Structure formats: C-alpha cells, structure tokens
Chains A and B, each alone.
Chain A
Amino acid sequence: NAGVTQTPKFRILKIGQSMTLQCTQDMNHNYMYWYRQDPGMGLKLIYYSVGAGITDKGEVPNGYNVSRSTTEDFPLRLELAAPSQTSVYFCASRDRGPVQYFGAGTRLSVL
C-alpha cells in the first residue's frame, strides 16, 4: 500500500533556482492538496485540485504553480525560489469522504 508518495525527501536550493516537488497517489482519489508547514505553525494550504484538469488556489499560493494532468499526479512548481519558501511541504489526497491522507513530506531549504 504505497498511498501518497512525495519526492524528493530533502532538497537544498539556491535563491532564484526552480524545482518541482512530485506527489503521486495510487488510491484513485480525486482530491489532492499541497500544504506547507513552517516551524511552530500549522499547515497552510497552497493549492488544491478536485480532479484531473482542475486546480484552485489555497491560502498561500504566491510563488507556486501546480498542474493536474492525471488523477495520480499533482506536482508543485517553484519558479524562483526565495528564502521565505524554506519549509516542509506535504501533499495529501482524499476520496469523497472527509479524511485526507498525507505523504511523508519534502523538506526544502532555500539559501
């Protein structure tokens, strides 16, 4: 049971670099989410998707982009990395029920 898989687990970026955080789920869930977790704070929603081809902004979308070309994959793109984007990023998915299932996270440092 793979569930929600995120890659990479860790990454260090230089200011201005770009990268894509990968998220894939094998549960055939329509709903997928990206959150960031800053130290001492709760998770904040960046973007979400209710199905392939449909995405929408969450609470903190600035500096990020997403796409959802398949049900399984929901990559998060950082175009011009900034120190403020240093965080732990979590991907989650759910079916029609109320419970979100989380990946193990990607720890990103921007220096």
Chain B
Amino acid sequence: GEDVEQSLFLSVREGDSSVINCTYTDSSSTYLYWYKQEPGAGLQLLTYIFSNMDMKQDQRLTVLLNKKDKHLSLRIADTQTGDSAIYFCAESIEDNDMRFGAGTRLTVKP
C-alpha cells in the first residue's frame, strides 16, 4: 500500500470550506507538502510545513499538522470552482526521498 494515504474524492459546494486529510507513516519526515494538479498539468506547490510546526496559514489555505497521529490536513476556505483539482499530500523522508499520496480529487459544485 501507499506510505501516504488520502481519501480519493471530496465534493463541496462553492463558498463552503474544504478539508482534505492525509496520514503519513514516517515520523522522521522533515517537511510535509500539499501540491495541486489541474487536468493535463504538472504538480503546483500550494504550501508546505516544517515538521516542528503545528499550523500554517496562507490566505485561504490552512495546514494543520498533528505529529502524534501523523495526520496532515489542508483546509480551503470559501472554495471556488477554480479550486477543482487533484490535491496531493507528500512527505520528505530524506533529502531526495519524497513520498506522495494517491491524491484527492476535489470537485466544487456551483
């Protein structure tokens, strides 16, 4: 199975908040990331958090990290149709070893 686990699908209404969850397995991960992938495009970094932080906020995005439970979440406030995409959680285990989840497909309905 995947080292990093995410639910595959999430559907929300425009204007609602979206919360995408991720669990990872390596407690020594130094950085945890959220990437966004739109259809036919590469991965775009949304945000990342250092493992000694609990929370990071960047405009509409809030990342929460629970190291005890190895749980990472991404909250998108006031979700818009342009936020529809696949969101990947990733952990950096070593300098050149990044592990990705399978991605959560977010669908935003008008």
Contacts and interface: CB of A to CB of B under 8 A. Distances in A.
A53 interface: no
How many interface residues does chain B have, given as a range? 20 to 34
A74 interface: no
Nearest to B8: A40
Question: Majority SS of interface residues in chain B?
Answer: strand
B103 A104 contact: no
Contacts of A41: 2, 102
How many interface residues does chain A have, given as a range? 20 to 34
Contact of A102 (B4, B44, B103): B44
Interface string B90-103: 10100011111111
B110 interface: no
Interface in B27-51: 30-31, 33, 35, 40-45, 48
Question: Majority SS of interface residues in chain A?
Answer: strand
B96 A33 contact: yes
Nearest to A107: B40
B72 to A, nearest CB: 14
Interface string B76-101: 00000000000010101000111111
A43 interface: yes
Contact of B92 (A42, A98, A103): A98
A100 B98 contact: yes
A99 B96 contact: no
